[in-house]
Amino acid sequence: MKIVILQTDIVWANPSANIEKADEIINRHEGVDIFVLPEMFSTGFCTNPEGIAEKSNSGTLEWMKRTAQRKNCAMAGSIALEDNGKYYNRFYFVHPGGTVDWYDKKHLFTFGGEHKRFTAGSKRIIVNYRGVRILLQVCYDLRFPVWSRNRNDYDIAIYVASWPTPRVEVWKLLLRARAIENQCYVVGVNRVGKDPDCDYIGGSAVISPYGKVVAACEDGNACEAVADIDMSELEEFRKKFPVLNDADSFELV
C-alpha cells in the first residue's frame, strides 16, 4: 500500500488556498493508495469555530470526493464542521468510489478549550480499504492508548494532528509507542507554520510495527513523504510474534 503524507503549512481560515496547496502536491504523485492531510487541514485548528467551520455540504469534502475519484485513491484528513447546529472535528476518509467514512474526535483538547464549542464523538471507527483495516484517530487521541488499543481488528492507525512545536518530541515518541504496542503501522500527519495561537514544526512520519521510521517529512518544512507498506510483512510478523493474542481484555464504558 502506497501512502503519501502531506505536512502542509495551513493558511488560516482559507479553505480554497489550502486546497490549492494540497492539489499541487497530490498532482505530483501517481499510483497512490491514500493521501493523508493534517487535522483541520482546510482552516487550521480552531477552538472558536463560528465563521470558520464548514457546513455539512462542505466544499472541502466535495473536493476530497473529486480528487479520490480522479486519482483512484483514498483521501484522509479532518475538518472543522458545523452539522445540525453542533460543531465537530470530523476526520473524513473518502474512498475512490465516493463512499465516505468519518470519525468525530473523541478526546477534545480541553487544555486549549476545544471542548467548549465542539461536540466529542463516541464511536471508534475502523475503515476497510483495499483489504486493509484502518483505525481513524485525531491528534489528542494519541495520548489515550486504551481508545486505540488493537483488538486484532486493525492494521494501520492514522493520526492527523495540529500538534504544537513545544510538545513535538512527545508526538514522535507516542507515535512509535502506539505502533509497537498495537503491532501495527502508524501514520502520523502534523502541520507546519503558525496559527493565531501556536507554532508547528511537523514531525510527520510513517512508523513500522517495530517502531522504526518508514518515511518522514523534514521538521519545519512544508513537504510530503511517501511510504510503501508491505502488508504481507505485517501479517508475517504477527504470526511469528503473536503478541496481540496475549493482550488484556477490557470494555469501554
Nearest one of 58, 68, 14 to 36, comparing CA atoms: 68
Q: Report the candidate in 149, 148, 158 with the shortest Cα–Cα distance to residue 1.
A: 158
- The rounded distance, in Å, linking the Cα atoms of 40 and 245 is 36
The CATH number of the domain covering residues in 2-246:
3.60.110.10
Query: Over 80: is that where the pLDDT of 19 sits?
Result: yes
Residue 250's pLDDT band (cuts 50, 70, 90): confident
Collapsing DSSP to helix, strand or coil, 203 comes out as coil
Mean pLDDT of 223-233: 97
Upper half-sphere CA count for residue 109 (Cβ side, 13 Å): 16
Integer Cα distance of 27 and 50 in angstroms = 32
pLDDT value for 229: 96
Given the residues 105, 114, 217, 224, select the one marked as catalytic: 105
- Say whether 139 is catalytic: yes
Secondary structure element (H or E) that encloses residue 60, with its range:
helix 59-71
Please report the pLDDT score of residue 221 as a whole number: 98
Residue 252 has pLDDT above 80, yes or no: no
pLDDT for residue 48? 95
Indicate whether 56 pLDDT > 90. no
Active site residue 105: yes
Give per-residue pLDDT as tens, 22-52: 999 999 999 999 999 999 999 999 999 999 9
Selecting among 46, 139, 217, 223, the annotated active-site residue is 139
Q: What is the pLDDT of residues 152-186, one digit of tens each?
A: 999 999 999 999 999 999 999 999 999 999 999 99
Average pLDDT, the chain: 97
The reported pLDDT for the residue numbered 133 is: 98
pLDDT in tens, 80-123: 999 999 999 999 999 999 999 999 999 999 999 999 999 999 99
Distance of CA 162 to the CA centre of its chain: 10
- pTM of the full structure: 0.97
Residue 171's nearest CA partner among 18, 39, 32 is 39
Q: Which three cell numbers stand for residue 167?
A: 510538545
Catalytic residue among 21, 39, 217, 223: 39
Distance CA 16, CA 203 (A): 25
User: Between the CA of residue 60 and those of 47, 57, 88, 205, what are the distances in Å?
Assistant: 19, 9, 15, 24
